[in-house]
């Protein structure tokens, strides 16, 4: 049931809408405007209608085309068929002759059919751990806005948003992650996870993502991310008992068996969640001009030519020059015809007078 799955997945990461922008309590009983598949007055799908399961081997943990032909070992003993929209709707989901059918080799269905996420309840878009630690009489301070915590002395500062436009990335079904042993550049934003794929990858499609921004501690000497110990009773060295970052990081890295220099700071990070729920009704799907325009939704997705967005200056000059020359020619020809007609009329008048 939705309640069985949603009790965990709608509240993952410490609260409702913290992780996913397309999964929250509004999906327990959504209407058609929120999700056409799970709408209680429509198809009324439960989670297992798509996420089929055998002995808790649940399909849908990754997404790839074609889903019906590809299996991959995700865990050592866990081979799961992956699902996508085409599992039900085919690679030509629209009526014959509809231009959208020509996009399915490069564009995922979700890109057009999920124009925004978090359309009912807000989702957390930023989490700044460097601001944590404020307390009053020994207890962490909490600040609320519109029913959401915007500051928590235990966790830091947050930003929540509704009706969020996704960001778009190439994705072939593989996601890579930054490990605690990987070097980072603290002067740059560290993508803690990132999808693999580009325009030339035949398995890649343009997918919508929620990008969750953060600010997290890292080791200034080793240039690696660190894991602090958060939980624990007084005297355990945990952050939530002592509110000392150095002690908490020392304890956490020791438990992980990794080195810590003793020097830390906070780095900007991003974490990406592929968006596939909250499928809007077809009349709310994206129009062509939302992408095929210079400042459209795909303005920052480089590496390929897209009509309406991209252009070649030399070709533009030649093209517009040809248009102007043709226009001058047409106007000149028309003017010549007018002058010629008036001359003929004048000659005819003179002949009649004679």
pLDDT at 82: 59
Q: Is the pLDDT of residue 74 over 50?
A: no
- Quote the percentage of the chain above a pLDDT of 70: 93
Q: Which residue has the higher pLDDT, 312 or 118?
A: 118
List of residues 6+ apart from 171 with CB closer than 8 A: 63, 108, 195, 196, 197, 204, 205, 206, 207, 209, 274
pLDDT at 75: 44
pTM of the predicted model, to two decimals?
A: 0.83
Lowest mean pLDDT among 61-70, 197-206, 245-254, 269-278: 61-70
Q: Which residue has the higher pLDDT, 10 or 61?
A: 10
Q: Which residue has the higher pLDDT, 197 or 318?
A: 197
pLDDT at 51: 84
CA distances from residue 266 to 150, 156, 204, 215, 263 in whole angstroms, order as listed: 19, 12, 33, 6, 11
- 63: alpha, beta or left, given left = phi > 0 and alpha = psi -120 to 50? beta
Q: Residue 10 in contact with residue 29, Cβ under 8 Å? A: no
Q: Mean pLDDT, the chain, as a whole number?
A: 90
pLDDT at 53: 78
Q: Is the pLDDT of residue 31 over 50?
A: yes
Q: What does the pLDDT look like over 152-189, one tens digit per residue?
A: 999 999 999 999 999 999 998 889 999 999 999 999 99
pLDDT at 68: 44
Backbone phi, psi, residue 123, to 5°: -125, 150
pLDDT at 238: 98
pLDDT at 62: 55
Q: What does the pLDDT look like over 120-130, one tens digit per residue?
A: 999 999 999 99
Mean pLDDT of 297-306: 92
Mean pLDDT of 275-285: 95
Per-residue confidence band for 61, with pLDDT thresholds at 50, 70 and 90:
low
Mean pLDDT of 221-228: 98
Instruction: Dump the DSSP string for 153-204.
Output: TTTEEEEEESSBPPEEEEE-S-EEE--TTS---TTS-EESEEE---TT-TT-
Lowest mean pLDDT among 39-53, 66-80, 267-281: 66-80
Lowest mean pLDDT among 246-250, 331-335, 345-349: 345-349
């Amino acid at each position: 049931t939705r309640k069985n799955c949603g009790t965990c997945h709608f509240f993952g990461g410490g609260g409702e809408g913290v992780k996913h922008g397309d999964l929250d309590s509004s999906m327990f009983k959504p209407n058609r405007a929120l999700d056409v598949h799970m709408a209680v007055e429509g198809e009324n799908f439960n989670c297992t209608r798509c996420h089929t399961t055998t002995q808790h081997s649940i399909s849908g943990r990754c997404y790839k085309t074609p889903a019906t032909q590809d299996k991959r070992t995700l865990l050592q003993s866990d081979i799961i068929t992956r699902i996508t929209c085409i599992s039900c709707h085919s690679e030509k989901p629209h009526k014959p002759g509809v231009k959208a059918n020509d996009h399915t080799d490069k564009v995922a269905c979700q890109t057009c059919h999920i124009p925004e996420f978090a359309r009912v309840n807000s989702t957390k878009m930023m989490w700044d751990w460097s601001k944590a630690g404020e307390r009053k009489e020994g207890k962490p301070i909490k600040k609320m806005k519109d029913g959401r915590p915007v500051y928590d002395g235990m966790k830091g500062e947050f930003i929540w948003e509704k009706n969020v436009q996704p960001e778009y990335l190439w994705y072939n079904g593989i996601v890579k992650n930054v490990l605690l042993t990987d070097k980072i550049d603290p002067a740059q934003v560290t993508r803690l996870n990132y999808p693999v794929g580009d325009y030339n990858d035949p398995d890649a499609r343009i997918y919508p993502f929620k990008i969750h921004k953060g600010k997290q501690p890292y080791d200034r000497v080793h240039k690696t991310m660190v894991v602090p110990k958060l939980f624990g009773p007084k005297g355990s060295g945990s952050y939530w008992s002592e509110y000392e970052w150095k002690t908490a990081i020392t304890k956490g890295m020791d438990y992980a068996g990794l080195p810590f220099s003793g020097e830390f700071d906070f780095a900007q990070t991003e974490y990406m969640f592929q968006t596939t729920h909250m499928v809007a009704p077809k009349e709310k799907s994206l129009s062509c001009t939302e992408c095929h325009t210079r400042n459209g939704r795909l303005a920052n997705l480089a590496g390929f030519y897209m009509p309406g967005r991209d252009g070649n200056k030399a070709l533009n000059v030649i093209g517009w020059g040809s248009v102007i020359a043709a226009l001058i020619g047409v106007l000149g020809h028309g003017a010549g015809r007018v002058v010629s007609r008036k001359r003929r009329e004048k000659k005819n008048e003179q002949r009649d007078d004679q």
